[in-house]
Structure 1
Amino acid sequence: MIKYRKAGEMKDSGVEWIGGIPRDWEIRNLKYIGFTKSGLGNKKPKDFGHGYPFISYKNIYKNLVVEETYPDLVDSTEADRENFSVLRGDAFFTGSSETIEELGIASMCIKDISNATYNGFSIRFRPHSLSQYYPECMKYYFRSQAAREHLIRNDNSITRANLSQKLLKMLPVLLASFNQQKKIANFLDLKTTQFDSIISKKEQLIKKLEEAKKSLISEVVTGKVKIVDGKLVPRDLSEMKDSGVEWLGMIPRDWAVKKIKHIAECYPSNVDKKTMKGEKRVRLCNYRDVYYNDYITDDLAFMKATATISQIKKFTLKKGDIVLTKDSESPDDIAIASYIDGCVENLVCGYHLTLIRDIKGSIDLYVYYQLMSTGARNYFETVANGVTRYGIGIFGFVNLQVCIPNIEEQEKISKYIRSYINEQAKIIININNQIRKLKQAKQSLISEAVTGKIDLRDWKIIEGELQ
């Protein structure tokens, strides 16, 4: 049973979104308990992938605690390693993001990491002393809504969100006694582990559903199975031939194999997120819109930007267009495709995306499902170039080889896959809603603990690894 402090034990923090805090707690701006420093920013792509440990943006963004088993390396100098060192108690904040809500995500270093440096798109906070600052507790505070609200409310970015050291230094920090911080950390380690276990199981279920979707699409669009009376039936080997393409394997004898450049036009977009005087106002379809949606529809919340007349003419999206992400932090997470499903008003394809359109001799929806297949995904992974961030040029897209049956077969396949995806989407939406509520409950618990609203004075610390 969680116990809350009584109103008489609290005082006004003076911060609207934090509210009351225990009377014996302190509140200080971050600048009074330590100092900030931007990361290593003078490196070129050739410097990565070898050398010394490197804390990447992705490492910070995805982990509450800086991951020690990082794969990232950089060719850093002795001066680099001295100036951009990574020690216990260092908190790293992401310094740039596509949205304000994702700005200033923090990750805590729990123990010194020898010879490590950190990336230039983050800001390191280092406390003057650990005598009143318990990193295991502060890792929760810096990611809590109490801390995040300061960054979200006070950021003045217009296009891409950027965190200034000036704003970060003014972050209000709540300091309980050192012993209380240890109890808060232990309590939250236990409770968040319980939440994370439930969330992880639900996320694994979604992952299995997504893998099943990829597998089914791959089997259908390469003709390994055929649709008979609304059901999938394996094709007999006598009906098949070698496609001559490794990632396609065997395909039906009457199917053709063609490169994208022979059936469609392909255009990498150059429309950025800026709002420029003299340009026309547009809605912008961004990387995130494509990455998180199988279908792009007019009712999605798109960001506003501007574009030139020539950009609008070339990149205004229309029904049947296919849009793919053209870069990523890992080669196995690139060329994610989305289909423009219906009329979209004044919507332009944004930067970091490639547009495939004007498909000839094939159904656009069928080609889209080809791009979603496991074979296509494997192909894109092999042609992605990069070290710390990967990209695919236009030649990588246009040289993808796809299976082309007759139009009647394409229509049947498109209809079947669409129905399957729609039914599966209902299940995934339901699971995602459950995950969202669990994450909200977890975040609420963290905020109530790190602001002292939950009374943990009598909490008995549980030693050892928490399960």
Structure 2
Amino acid sequence: MDTPYSPYPKYKDTRIDWLGNIPEHWSTSKLRYMFSFGKGLPITKENLQDSGIPCLNYGEVHSKYGFEVDPSKHPLKFVGEEYLKSSPSALLEKGDIVFADTSEDIEGSGNFTQLISNHTIFAGYHTIIARPKDRTNSRFYAYLLDSQELRTQVRHAVKGVKVFSVTQAILRGIDIWLPDAIEQSKIANFLDHETAKIDTLIDKQQQLIKLLKEKRQAVISHAVTKGLNPNAPMKDSGVEWLGEVPVHWKSAKLKYLTDVIVDGAHFTPTYVEEGVPFLRVTDIQSEEVDLGRIKFIPKNEHEVLIQRCKPEKGDLLLSKNGTIGVPKVIDWDWEFSIFVSLCLIKFNHRLNSEYAYFYFMTHQIHEQIFGMIKQSTVINLHLDKIQDFYFSVPPIDEQECIVENLRDRLKTFDDLISKANKSISLSKERRTALISAAVTGKIDVRNFKAGDTHVV
């Protein structure tokens, strides 16, 4: 990390694991002495509604806002006003910290957010409330709790295998280190100023990625619905979602372009440490299937499943539950089975699987998918609906040309998106390093002024 700041003149050994030395005049303590603790509302997702009192649940802590939340800027679900009388202890005040009490991975253990407004808001299900006893420098505490040195303590204390749990007892026992109140304020002001600049850079890269993905999507949609020849004569496809297509293309339902459309296991599988890979929706959403994170089932269950659903290289998987409409061409040779949330599609000679993959990514297919289920409260794409999807199909050799063209054109977008993602990762690493350096006293920011120019 590049910084113009010097270290403090003298340090002392804290004898705290993962921390090392801190400035000589700083003190050490435990989180229990600086915070009181409580629990969020004892509710479930079914208790949430579209109006009432804003409610912050563990899902928002993990995936949406992180570090800070303000109901005036961040959309939240609500609970009824009756909780104001029955559960006032779950109400938050400005500066309160809300931890998620469970995480699906060790890296998420200790995730929290801080309320930065005076809105009336509840902590919801699966949360722990940490209330600073002195709110003067509550912002400093947020940065302290976000430092790698403190989060490492949490990660080494949590219990769990599939789900990792953070308890009030764990949080109470966490070691902390503190400068005096004036210095805490200076560190918090410094980090607010410097991390804001980093966050602006991250936001710009995220906006760029969004724009690139939109353009990428437009290129795909145009290629597989209009073709590559801009001068090709067009005709009305006769299908609302497709509009005009080249004259020589055919429109047909998917069931006439396939040999098999079948979903996976309709029973609860037996998960084992070693066995046959068993893919779910989450496993097909990245470019490569991560064999280190997938589930496995016994060989005998796999043998039963492949009697009706045998995935092979060149077939296409499509998600039909949860995050629906995600396609994945099978480009590997190893044996596997699939859960009921996925369906397997085997194409006949009229449809190229990679062309179909791109087609499933178009606005035209999404219109069909969401048009069919928009009246349902259950996000579930049934096989009979999938069979009735309309496809606009050029001759097979033209499909292959379109696929090759898209591979070349999309590489430019993918490279730019990858570059932007790397920039975001680097910025986040710098942000993390800066926070740790400031709150552990590796750099002395006592003379910081907001008008100073710094390299972050």
TM-score by length of 2: 0.83
For residue 200 of structure 2, give the secondary structure of its aligned residue in structure 1: helix
For residue 446 of structure 2, give the secondary structure of its aligned residue in structure 1: coil
Partner of 1:59: 60
Check if 1:242 corresponds to 2:234: no
Partner of 1:230: none
Out of 104, 111, 120, which is 1:105 matched to? 111
Distance 1:37 1:46, change over 3 A: closer
Query: Matches of 1:261 and 1:23 in 2, distance apart?
Result: 77
Query: Matches of 1:193 and 1:169 in 2, distance apart?
Result: 30
Check if 1:120 corresponds to 2:125: yes
Contact 1:281 1:304 in 2 (8 A): no
Query: Matches of 1:86 and 1:242 in 2, distance apart?
Result: 57
Query: Matches of 1:15 and 1:398 in 2, distance apart?
Result: 62
Query: Matches of 2:366 and 2:77 in 1, distance apart?
Result: 26
Check if 1:74 corresponds to 2:78: yes
User: What is the CA distance between 1:84 and its match in structure 2?
Assistant: 1.7
Check if 1:402 corresponds to 2:407: no
The residue identity in structure 2 corresponding to 1:249 is G
Check if 1:217 corresponds to 2:220: yes
Q: Which moved more, 1:366-375 or 1:302-311?
A: 302-311
The residue identity in structure 2 corresponding to 1:265 is I
Partner of 1:258: 253
Partner of 1:142: 145
User: What is the CA distance between 1:67 and its match in structure 2?
Assistant: 2.9
Distance 1:386 1:42, change over 3 A: farther
User: What is the CA distance between 1:455 and its match in structure 2?
Assistant: 0.4
User: What is the CA distance between 1:161 and its match in structure 2?
Assistant: 3.2
User: What is the CA distance between 1:268 and its match in structure 2?
Assistant: 5.7
Partner of 1:202: 205
Out of 283, 288, 292, which is 1:296 matched to? 288
User: What is the CA distance between 1:287 and its match in structure 2?
Assistant: 5.0
Distance 1:435 1:167, change over 3 A: same
User: What is the CA distance between 1:373 and its match in structure 2?
Assistant: 1.1
Partner of 1:2: 4
Out of 119, 122, 135, which is 1:130 matched to? 135
Contact 1:59 1:66 in 2 (8 A): no
Deviations, residues 208-253 of structure 1 (Å, cap 9, x unaligned)? 211111101111111x2x22xxxxx3255x422134233x322334
User: What is the CA distance between 1:348 and its match in structure 2?
Assistant: 5.0
Size of the aligned set, in residue pairs, is 437
Query: Matches of 1:255 and 1:265 in 2, distance apart?
Result: 21
The residue identity in structure 2 corresponding to 1:129 is D
TM-score by length of 1: 0.81
Deviations, residues 157-181 of structure 1 (Å, cap 9, x unaligned)? 2123333333333333332222112
Q: How do residues 164-179 of structure 1 correspond to structure 2 at under 5 angstroms?
A: 164-179=167-182
Q: How do residues 381-420 of structure 1 correspond to structure 2 at under 5 angstroms?
A: 381-382=370-371, 391-394=379-382, 397=386, 399-420=388-409
Distance 1:187 1:339, change over 3 A: farther
Distance 1:163 1:108, change over 3 A: same
Higher-Rg structure is 2
Percent of aligned pairs sharing the same letter: 23
Query: Matches of 1:458 and 1:24 in 2, distance apart?
Result: 17
Query: Matches of 2:38 and 2:291 in 1, distance apart?
Result: 35
Out of 424, 430, 451, which is 1:441 matched to? 430
Q: How do residues 260-299 of structure 1 correspond to structure 2 at under 5 angstroms?
A: 263=258, 264-267=260-263, 275-276=271-272, 280-283=274-277, 285=279, 288-291=282-285, 293=286, 295-296=287-288
Check if 1:159 corresponds to 2:165: no
The residue identity in structure 1 corresponding to 2:414 is A
The residue identity in structure 1 corresponding to 2:132 is P
Query: Matches of 1:207 and 1:47 in 2, distance apart?
Result: 30
User: What is the CA distance between 1:347 and its match in structure 2?
Assistant: 5.0
Contact 1:80 1:117 in 2 (8 A): no
Query: Matches of 2:184 and 2:266 in 1, distance apart?
Result: 49
